[in-house]
Structure 1
Amino acid sequence: MKTLIDWLKEKGFEPNNIQLYYEACTHSSYANEHQSNLDDNERLEFVGDAVLQIWSATALYNLVPALHEGKMTTIRAQTVCESTLAKLNQQMGWYEFLRLGVGEEKSGGRSRPSILADHFEACIGAIYLDLGYQAAKKILDEYMKPLITAKKPEDVTDYKTQLQEYVQTDNKCTIQYRLLKESGPSNAPVFTMGVFLDEICMGQGESTTKKKAEQKAAKEAMRKLAV
């Protein structure tokens, strides 16, 4: 069975810390079903997120013509959002290397955007820690850089950033996102998030992740404010 290590070797890389890549591909559901000392990929996800932030910021800074800070913020949020990372994971075939628990596998975890996005970040984190930033950059330049200037589909529009920029003209306004309701089974929860402007709920959104629900809430708020 092919692994992330094989994928990297095909790309001309020589992985050193093999265990790091198995950890990157181990979902918490798999770790929980097996030995207690098996590490899942959550810590590597944290590292990968940081790598993506610095890579995307640098790539945006180097664009010609130069973009203003607000536009850079919007494009970065769209480029490294959950749906984009999940699609990249599928495009690159990394999802095949993901180790899931039996229940998570049966419930469709291998195609769940939140899991795929976290897995992508963990893999980038492992590559960075094992092979250095230049190796991670080479992969991101090849697969992610074209997305920076590409037209963004609806599912990666960053309504949260748009809303933030819209209300910045009024320094007295504050934005807060709050969990209003959580329903469904524990392995497939549904979150309802509300966005509040000065304690007034301006929009609500419902999705399988809090991030997506917040985006939907922000979209509804933008629709009301832009009237």
Structure 2
Amino acid sequence: MSRLRFPHVFRDPGLYQQALTHRSAGRPNNERLEFLGDSLVGMLVAELLFESHPRADEGELTRMRAQLVSGSALAEVARALELGEALRLGPGELKSGGHRRESILADAFEALVAAVYLDAGWEACRDCVRSLFTERARQLRAPEKDAKTRLQELLQGRGLALPVYELVSSSGDDHAKVFEVACVIEQPPLRLGGHGSSRRAAEQIAAQQALDHIKELLANER
């Protein structure tokens, strides 16, 4: 394994190697470290956001944290550290390009954060995470609430029942599935569909369709 562009020098090289060892390469691997690192990253990023966005409310902070610690966001940090080149993978993952896979990169990054904590303690771990996320946290703006959240809040604000999302169908090969979901609302009575590459994406599209329809109804009532 090559050395990382990482803001911590390990006293225990075994922890460093374990953090970068995928389960496909055998044991000891980074699965347990990833479990611990997930909580550490979430906590330390939450602290950063709390400091850097003093006017953000709980919902905005929650959405910003989700944006910063998502799999794709952590994979982006891992790529900046050239983490993929340092991973230890089994033959199958090597052949399939596992060193570029977002989930593997994100998990290995979280495992590295846990390894720092075990190697040098809380303050070293905190300093490491802050050095990687401070600028990202400062530049981040609170993302708009997603369609499902906005639809739920609209209905709750009018004392109406929450929507139900039904999986209508899924088709296509495993690598290119298409999901159809229906958003069902009791009042006003609606059943609107959405298609997406995942069930979650289809639900968001269906929720947006319902939002647009309800807003049109409300506009016509004025």
1:216 is aligned to 2:201: yes
Q: Name stretches of at least 5 consecutive residues in structure 2 with no aligned partner.
A: 186-190, 213-222
Residue in structure 2 matching 1:163, options 109, 124, 148: 148
Task: Kindly provide the CA deviation profile for residues 96-153 of structure 1, in whole angstroms up to 9, marking residues without a partner as x.
Answer: 111111111111211111111111111111112222222222222222222224357x
Task: Kindly provide the CA deviation profile for residues 152-198 of structure 1, in whole angstroms up to 9, marking residues without a partner as x.
Answer: 7xxxx787x552354145454266797x769767xxx5666676766
Give the greater-gyration-radius structure (CA).
2
The residue number in structure 2 matching 1:28 is 23
Instruction: Quote how far apart the aligned CAs of 1:65 are.
Output: 3.7
Task: Kindly provide the CA deviation profile for residues 189-217 of structure 1, in whole angstroms up to 9, marking residues without a partner as x.
Answer: 566667676697854532xxxxxx35523
1:62 is aligned to 2:51: yes
Helix, strand or coil for the counterpart of 2:52?
coil
- 2: CA distance between counterparts of 1:202 and 1:131? 52
- 2: CA distance between counterparts of 1:176 and 1:39? 41
1:3 is aligned to 2:3: yes
Q: Name stretches of at least 5 consecutive residues in structure 1 with no aligned partner.
A: 32-37, 207-212
Helix, strand or coil for the counterpart of 1:226?
helix
Q: TM-score, with normalisation over the residues of structure 1?
A: 0.72
The residue number in structure 2 matching 1:205 is 196
The amino acid across from 2:66 in the alignment is A
Residue in structure 1 matching 2:81, options 92, 99, 112: 92
CA contact (8 A) 1:173 1:197 kept: no
- 2: CA distance between counterparts of 1:177 and 1:47? 35
- 2: CA distance between counterparts of 1:15 and 1:138? 14
Percent of pairs with identical residues: 30
Say if 1:167 and 1:55 are closer, same or farther in 2 by CA, change over 3 A: same
- 2: CA distance between counterparts of 1:182 and 1:41? 34
- 1: CA distance between counterparts of 2:101 and 2:17? 20
The residue number in structure 1 matching 2:97 is 108
The residue number in structure 1 matching 2:67 is 78
Task: Kindly provide the CA deviation profile for residues 6-46 of structure 1, in whole angstroms up to 9, marking residues without a partner as x.
Answer: x55xx4x4423322221111111111xxxxxx122111111
Q: TM-score, with normalisation over the residues of structure 2?
A: 0.73
Say if 1:125 and 1:193 are closer, same or farther in 2 by CA, change over 3 A: farther
- 1: CA distance between counterparts of 2:206 and 2:138? 27
Say if 1:90 and 1:14 are closer, same or farther in 2 by CA, change over 3 A: closer
Instruction: Quote how far apart the aligned CAs of 1:63 are.
Output: 2.5
CA contact (8 A) 2:166 2:183 kept: no
Helix, strand or coil for the counterpart of 1:89?
helix
Q: Which moved more, 1:71-80 or 1:163-172?
A: 163-172
Say if 1:195 and 1:81 are closer, same or farther in 2 by CA, change over 3 A: farther
CA contact (8 A) 1:44 1:123 kept: yes
Task: Kindly provide the CA deviation profile for residues 84-105 of structure 1, in whole angstroms up to 9, marking residues without a partner as x.
Answer: 1111101011221111111111
Say if 1:169 and 1:100 are closer, same or farther in 2 by CA, change over 3 A: same
Residue in structure 2 matching 1:118, options 107, 110, 116: 107
CA contact (8 A) 2:98 2:104 kept: yes
Alignment of 1:42-57 (within 5 A): 42-57=31-46
- 2: CA distance between counterparts of 1:132 and 1:177? 47
CA contact (8 A) 1:164 1:175 kept: no
- 1: CA distance between counterparts of 2:117 and 2:29? 17
